[in-house]
Amino acid sequence: MAVLLGWGWLLLPGSRGGARAKADFAALFLSSVVVGFFAVCQALAVPWEVSGQAGQMLSLHCWYPRGYEGYYKYWCGGASRDSCHKVAEAASREVVQQHGQVCIQDNHIFCVVLLTMKDVSEVDAGSYWCGVERTGRDLMELVTVRVVPGKPWCPAG
């Protein structure tokens, strides 16, 4: 599979087309967009909303710009950025920090914070903020967490 990129061609592995080549191209394109976004922007990239079923686990990624690898990252809950309370904080690189049902890990190589909320319930639904602590106003982005009731488990037969 070959793709025309402005001034030249890019040959992708598995170049006979098909689903694998399309998936490879989509991953490459998305990576280029993310890298390009951070080259010109000083903001966090997070999903606007994540949802899951009660009793299950929710995971999300919070991407931050290069240059913020050594800063503290956190996950806080609350309706506004000024009134949120910290739920979890990543104090060091590559080490998973667990705070109750929330796990947070800062990956400096990819500039991403990995967040996991275990065993979510409807009480966990609401507004949360992914944040990078810095001098002045912290970098923060809103994420809405939605939790739908779980299906009762019934044995087959």
Residues 16 and 80 in one domain: no
Residues 71 and 111 in one domain: yes
- Domain span including residue 67: 49-148
Number of domains in the chain: 2
Q: What is the CA radius of gyration of the chain?
A: 19
Query: So what's the pLDDT on residue 30?
Result: 45
DSSP readout, 102-127?
Answer: EEEEEETTTTEEEEEE-S--GGG-EE
Residues 93 and 132 in one domain: yes
Q: Looking at the domain assignment, is residue 153 inside a domain?
A: no
Query: So what's the pLDDT on residue 1?
Result: 40
Residues 62 and 93 in one domain: yes
Residues 11 and 70 in one domain: no
Instruction: Please tell me whether the overall predicted TM-score, pTM, comes out greater than 0.75 for this model.
Output: no
